Amino acid sequence: MTDERLTGLTERLGVDIDPETLRLALTHRSFAFEQGGIPTNERLEFLGDSVLQLVATESLYLDNPDLPEGRLAKMRAAVVNTRALASIARRYDVGSVLLLGKGEDATGGRDKDSILADTVEALIGACYVSCGPQPAFALVHRLIDSMLTDAVTLGAGMDYKTTLQEASADLSLGAVHYEVTGEGPAHARVFTAVASTGDTVWGTGDGSSKKAAEAVAAEAAMHAISAAHPRYSRRA
């Protein structure tokens, strides 16, 4: 991996992680095994998960003084989960700089939710080790603050498909339909979903599975509906 590609990632993230720690954060166990058992990113992932949990918990606690523990816990789970973290990784093009074994790479590992989510946590851990607590906390805020806002606005669970169905019913838009198409080889297929009500297309989204694509399309549709109907709010 070239230094330019590493620099590109740190610039996108807005952090200055030292190259050695950054490479470690990007080293999947499949690559480490092929290289004779070099260290993997799993220890950094362990650390980053704790930092992520702390920042998410503190933010939800301080910003929502009237919400009970149960709802706060559900909203945190909506943000600190594999799907949400994988979406962050895709936003910052983390998959393109992963160090993967040949087999994992050939079977679409660069777009696997689990690998991408684990790597985001490892990058947070790398920032903590290389830059210290405050830069790491600031990084987490940049990564998740918008999703924390959505978790409060849309409700615990951030199930956009359910939320979209409820919004459509509340606004008398009609039933929600998804049209899904797929492209690419079987081991690296990319699906595209279009979410619509009647003749109105509200959102589109891509994913490594039909379910993932529909979730992204539903999220896009909810943002579009919220913009078109600003007085609409999801019923708790």
The H or E element that residue 193 is part of is strand 190-197
214 labelled binding-site residue: no
Q: What is the mean pLDDT of residues 140-167?
A: 77
Q: How many CA atoms lie within 13 A of 17 on its CB side?
A: 30
Question: Does residue 211 or residue 72 have the better pLDDT?
Answer: 72
Per-residue tokens: 202: 């509200």
Question: Does residue 58 or residue 146 have the better pLDDT?
Answer: 58
pLDDT of res. 164: 86
66 labelled binding-site residue: no
Contacts of 34 (CB under 8 A, 6+ apart): 101, 102
- Domains in the chain, ordered, with CATH? 3-154 (1.10.1520.10), 160-228 (3.30.160.20)
- Per residue in 72-101, pLDDT (tens digit) is 888 888 889 888 898 899 889 999 999 999
Question: Taking the complete model, does pTM exceed 0.75, yes or no?
Answer: no
- Residues tagged active-site: 49, 121
Spatial distance between the Cα atoms of 9 and 205, rounded to a whole number of angstroms: 24
Instruction: Give the number of other CB atoms < 10 A from CB of residue 58.
Output: 12
Angle at 173 between CA 170 and CA 178, to 5 degrees: 110
Name the range with the highest mean pLDDT among 59-68, 70-79, 144-153, 214-223: 59-68
Q: What is the mean pLDDT of residues 157-164?
A: 70
179 labelled binding-site residue: no
pLDDT beyond 70 at 183: yes
